[in-house]
Amino acid sequence: MTYRLRIHTPRDESVDEAVEALVAECFASRLFDEDGTLWGPEAESEASIRLSWVTLHESSRALVPEIVALRDDLRSRGVTRVVLCGMGGSSLAPEVICTAAGVPLDVLDSSQPDMVRSAIRDLASTVVVVSSKSGGTVETDSQRRIFEEAFRDAGFDPSEHLVIVTDPGSPLDEEATAAGYRVFRADPHVGGRYSALTAFGLVPSGLAGADIIGLLDQAGEVVPDLSDDTTSNPGLRLGTALGVAARQGVDKVVLHDHDRHGLGDWIEQLVAESTGKEDTGILPVVALTPDDPFTSDEFVVHLGTNEAPGHPWAAGVDASLGAQFLLWEVATAVAGRLLEIDPFDQPDVESAKAAARELLGGDASLPEPDHTSELADFYGSSAASIGEAIADLLEEVGDDEYLALQFYLDRWALSGLESLAPTVAARLHRPVTFGWGPRFLHSTGQYHKGGTPVGVFLQVTCDPIEDLPVPGRDFTLGQFIVSQAAGDAQVLRDKGRPVLRLHLHDRKAGLAAIKEALA
């Protein structure tokens, strides 16, 4: 057994008092009894149908034999490469699980044409897992259509190479079942970002070769600790520390992943989308190295060690991966209670999707650029150069604000671009986040629009090397991703947030100019 859980949290009088209050009302045991009243009457209807994640360490075990049998069958046919088409909660946990296990998984969580095209290879040996809770995620539906056509064109039956993960009764469930695909139906009473230990996390990870039964064992081992109504409960202590700090203005959490498994990206989605609403919340900042700069309004968490040196608001969490998943889900639910919000809804995610659909449907038109050069179109600035436009934007980042860098580009081809964030943070002495678009729209996008209204945004899109049509749809991926960026920018501007959007015509030269201006 690889179970371990060692945690250090700040020793603060206000944290201790808040933990004692939660213990007095039996918050932990009621949470594991799936009590939907814990977040108040307005949240009760949603919360009461979103709490099955507390029992997944047991209920998901029935999936394991099916997943292993399918993996063995695929391997017997020479199908060993696994591609995952999914967004947000459907992709982030499997990426962490497979990275930690050291098994390959190609996570396709983008509508960027060049990135999608590069995934269409080695089709004879490829199985594509299509994961969508709602069954209607446009990115995932588009990827599925493109892969189906590619398999047919190569002479393969798509039903032999596609596996579907969705909620029962979703449009994807009905269509895939009728088409004869293998369908895994997830627990509908678990929200997407809490779904690491459902079929969404286990199917692609198990097919790739990760030890999924061990993952469930790790989660199960910490249930007694996390459901115990005591002041030493690690979930209560971590969640309370995060919530109390946020109420005192320390509302950004810096995540240092010492194990380098990408756990910070999964926590980022969980915390940002769960807490970022009603103009409050906790903004996660994924650090690249332990030396990344931090500010006085940041809570520092070290993942992979229980030491937390050098900062008054700091925590250390050393735990096996399955334990980390459940610990952070409990802590996020606790933080939501202290912030007096519903940690299970995402009211602002749909707004950007609706804006993008309007643009695609012809009900609205893409905005005219404020400035155009050979290098790029500028939206949100009439400056004469990229450098001047970015300089103007950085002036908007005040003493209590953060900068969000959002790059709707090929994250496989441009891996390493994330290092811009700590570079700019050191320059501004303010938190800086980095998001690959449209991936972040299903993660931190909720916080950007619904959380504390202190964000400043730089969005970057580009002309693809070659666009990619979506079979059965009247738009291309290139049109779709630009509409996603423009729709999100419009929603942010409607909320009074500063946004600079740069659409690059020459990606290499444009990125060089952006890097120079930011550094």
pLDDT digits (tens, 9 = 90+) for 187-244: 999 999 999 999 999 999 999 999 999 999 999 999 999 999 999 999 999 999 999 9
Tokens of 285: 């900042």
Please state, in angstroms and rounded to a whole number, the distance separating the CA atoms of residues 287 and 281: 19
Tokens of 404: 């969000």
**Could you give the C-alpha distances from 381 to 117, 489, 513, in angstroms and in order?**
32, 13, 16
Q: What is the CA radius of gyration of the chain?
A: 22
Residue type, 270: L
In contact, 80 and 184? CB cutoff 8 Å:
no
pLDDT for 334: 98
Whether the CA torsion 435, 436, 437, 439 is positive or negative: it is negative
In contact, 162 and 198? CB cutoff 8 Å:
no
**Exposed/middle/buried for residue 384 (C-beta within 10 Å: 0-12, 13-18, 19+):** exposed
Domain boundaries, the chain: 5-26+229-339, 62-215, 349-518
Helices (H), 113-258: 113-119, 138-153, 171-178, 199-208, 212-226, 234-247
In contact, 255 and 282? CB cutoff 8 Å:
no
Percent of the chain with pLDDT over 70: 99
Phi, psi of 456 (to 5 degrees): -125, 135
The architecture CATH gives domain 62-215: 3-Layer(aba) Sandwich (3.40)
Q: Which residues pair with 85 in a beta bridge?
A: 108, 130
Low-confidence residues of the chain, pLDDT below 70? 1-3
Phi, psi of 246 (to 5 degrees): -60, -40
Please state, in angstroms and rounded to a whole number, the distance separating the CA atoms of residues 357 and 14: 46
pLDDT for 283: 98
Q: Which residues pair with 377 in a beta bridge?
A: 372, 503
Cα end-to-end span (Å), the chain: 46
Tokens of 47: 């919360």
Tokens of 222: 């910490």
Q: Which CATH superfamily is domain 349-518 in?
A: Glucose-6-phosphate isomerase like protein; domain 1 (3.40.50.10490)
Whether omega before 438 lies within 30 degrees of 0, making that bond cis, reads: yes
Q: Which residues pair with 456 in a beta bridge?
A: 403
Please state, in angstroms and rounded to a whole number, the distance separating the CA atoms of residues 265 and 93: 9
pLDDT for 357: 80
pLDDT for 3: 58
pLDDT for 1: 42
Angle at 514 (CA atoms; ends 510, 519), nearest 5 degrees: 150
Q: 5-26+229-339 has which fold?
A: Rossmann fold (3.40.50)
Whether the CA torsion 254, 258, 263, 265 is positive or negative: it is positive
